[in-house]
């Protein structure tokens, strides 16, 4: 299937590295005009310089509502609209038992991982999607489906909430706007490094496909869901995990 996004404008949060960077590159290669966003200007500029297509960047903290509004406004100013929003930015400042979780880090995780996608979607709705439609993709995690280890419990709960948010928004924003979620397994990114770096081969053997994911595995699914090829798909939760949920170790 030749997925094309010509004439579409995409905004990707957390786009300077990892999964977000791969998604932005895939959307641009598929013909979309793409606005990259994350907190650090230098990282955004470097990422944009490696991509083929019409790309721009705007530094914004995904957990800051004012920054979200500014970034969406800059995207409309630059490209005329926002047709595709990818809520990819996430944070995990705490690993450990819930009983030791402090409030500042709990609130930061909630602010970026769950409230953030709602705020960015609201901003895109008001700026463009309400009148011309569009597609929203929320990057969750298999931890949002099955829960995670106790060390990742709070992060996983925000990702579970993101799945419920996805389905609620799909019901509310149809028929003009489609909203779907992608749940990756362990993907070889800096954010997930602690989960795989010490024993990549050993971790991979718990997956039926016997390898860990790479960001491009998620990016191709994102491009499909953003395209007209997925025009009758909304409220969906799509697992991209090498089979670990159905045939691997917990």
CB 212 within 8 A of CB 113: no
Please enumerate in sequence order all residues whose Cβ is within 8 A of that of 171, keeping only pairs 6 or more positions apart, or say none. 235
Please enumerate in sequence order all residues whose Cβ is within 8 A of that of 196, keeping only pairs 6 or more positions apart, or say none. 186, 188, 203, 212
Q: Which of 79, 155, 196, 238 is catalytic?
A: 155
Active site residue 155: yes
Of residues 88, 120, 68, the one with CA closest to residue 17 = 88
CB 59 within 8 A of CB 66: no
State how far the Cα of 94 lies from the Cα of 2, in Å rounded to an integer: 41
Strands of 18-133 (E only): list them: 33-38, 55-59, 84-87
State how far the Cα of 12 lies from the Cα of 22, in Å rounded to an integer: 10
State how far the Cα of 176 lies from the Cα of 201, in Å rounded to an integer: 44
What token pair was written down for 162?
């993101």
Of residues 226, 243, 234, the one with CA closest to residue 186 = 243
Catalytic residues: 155
């Amino acid at each position: 299937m030749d997925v094309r996004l010509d004439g579409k404008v995409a905004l990707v949060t957390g786009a300077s590295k990892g999964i977000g960077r791969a998604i932005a590159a895939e959307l641009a290669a598929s013909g979309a005009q793409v606005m990259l966003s994350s907190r650090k200007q230098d990282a955004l500029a470097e990422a944009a310089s490696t991509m083929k297509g019409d790309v721009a960047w705007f530094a914004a903290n995904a957990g800051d509502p004012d920054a979200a509004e500014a970034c969406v406004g800059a995207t409309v100013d630059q490209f005329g609209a926002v047709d595709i929003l990818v809520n990819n930015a996430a944070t995990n400042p705490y690993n450990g038992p819930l009983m030791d979780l402090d409030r500042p880090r709990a609130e930061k995780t909630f602010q970026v991982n769950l409230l953030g996608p709602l705020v960015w979607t609201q901003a895109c709705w008001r700026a463009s999607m309400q009148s011309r439609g569009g597609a929203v993709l929320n990057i969750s995690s298999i931890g949002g489906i099955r829960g995670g280890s106790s060390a990742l419990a709070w992060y996983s709960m925000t990702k579970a909430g993101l799945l419920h948010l996805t389905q609620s928004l799909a019901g509310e924003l149809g028929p003009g706007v489609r909203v779907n979620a992608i749940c990756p397994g362990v993907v070889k990114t800096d954010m997930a490094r602690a989960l795989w770096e010490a024993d990549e081969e050993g971790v991979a053997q718990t997956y039926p496909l016997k390898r860990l994911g790479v960001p491009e595995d998620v990016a191709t699914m994102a491009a499909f869901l953003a395209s007209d090829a997925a025009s009758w798909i909304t409220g969906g939760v799509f697992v991209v995990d090498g089979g670990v949920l159905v045939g691997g170790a917990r």
